[in-house]
Structure 1
């Protein structure tokens, strides 16, 4: 639920002409927090979720949980419409910006997942990077408890800790984007997924329409 508002706002600002249809399975993130890994059963449920979207005649599917990004590569080829992960475009942009990348996550599984993806992409691009990852589950819990001020405060603290040693900082999850609105005194670029992924999915749909 915490990822819904940031992506709705991003579409409203950057691609207001797009009609959105939302599909959700909240139990996935609950189970992921308990297990710490994406299981085969979770992948099947994610596949079913995408299938429901495609059966509703959508032009593209954008997932909003970065923890499931590795699974997108496994299932996206099964569909005729583009299926994009929450953060891949953001990760590629971060590697373009600099060599020292800071990652902040509030879900345990999202931190290591983002780090591994950054390392994979940098290897493909033959660019050497260093990644410093900070996971603050207390912030996620605060958000679940509707203590948004505490959520943002904990993220701001980590941003200021990383800013001196990083060329760019990533927020690993859509739900963290809200914290960017209230941060100040930081000059290091901070990337969040909603804005970048909105542009990416619309561009991908447009490219396929031109081909067709």
Structure 2
């Protein structure tokens, strides 16, 4: 049994990733979960990912390597910490949205990237724009108004409904593909018709982790 350790910043992402694993069909893969909401909360208070939070996140990711075959960071705001953590890690350390970015830009065109948390905008923009170089893709970032406030207030139904509406709006505005930048947004796709559904990071990130472990 291959093991993927996930570092989350919200509790609900545990169920999101377990559901995504079931959908992928990888039967010889098990997930473990560490949840650190204080890391995202600290970045939100500061308005950005501080060097201190980045270093703490990197240390946590390296620690998770001890009992895993791959490590996934599922928080987009903390994503840049993966670069630091991966330098001396004994197993692959990956940000879950990296595979999403590669998938989204592969066909070129206008890509709408939806975020719920303001602190996610800049690291996500850098990730997607780097992935888009050479593909001809044009990245348009969008913060979904009111979504994160709804989730923090405990109204997950409103959170997902707001995101689903934003996906429809992006489609109507001419986006070739829509990507949900944060893992917590993934279930919004279930509220849309199959032809409207956006790309999400749990599915693509898990598939990338399995590939990095040397199997499919």
Count of aligned residue pairs for this structure pair: 203
Is 1:79 aligned with 2:86?
no
Secondary structure (helix, strand or coil) at the match of 1:61 reads strand
Name whichever structure is richer in helix by fraction.
Answer: 1
Give the number of the structure with larger relative contact order, counting CA–CA contacts within 8 Å between residues 6 or more apart: 1
What TM-score, normalized by structure 2, do the two folds share? 0.87
Q: Normalising to structure 1: TM-score of the pair?
A: 0.88
State the match for 1:70 in structure 2: 80
Residues 12-57 of structure 1, C-alpha deviations (whole Å, 9 max, x = no match): 23223322221222101111222221111111211221132123x2
CA distance in 2, matches of 1:9, 1:25: 20
| Counterpart contact for 2:161–2:191, Cα < 8 Å | no
The residue that corresponds to 2:142 in the other structure is 134
Query: Equivalent of 1:98, from 91, 95, 108?
Result: 108
Shift of 1:106: 0.5
Match of 2:184 among 163, 167, 175: 175
| Preserved contact between residue 166 and residue 188 of structure 1 (Cα < 8 Å) | no
Task: Say which of 50, 60, 65 aligns to 1:39.
Answer: 50
* Residues 72 and 83, structure 1, Cα contact 8 Å, conserved in 2: yes
Q: CA RMSD in A?
A: 1.7
Residue 41 of structure 2: aligned partner: 30
**SS class of match (1:67):** coil
In the TM superposition, what is the alpha-carbon distance from 1:119 to its structure 2 partner?
1.2
Is contact 1:168-1:189 (8 Å) kept?
Answer: no
In the alignment, structure 1 residue 108 sits paired with structure 2 residue 115? no
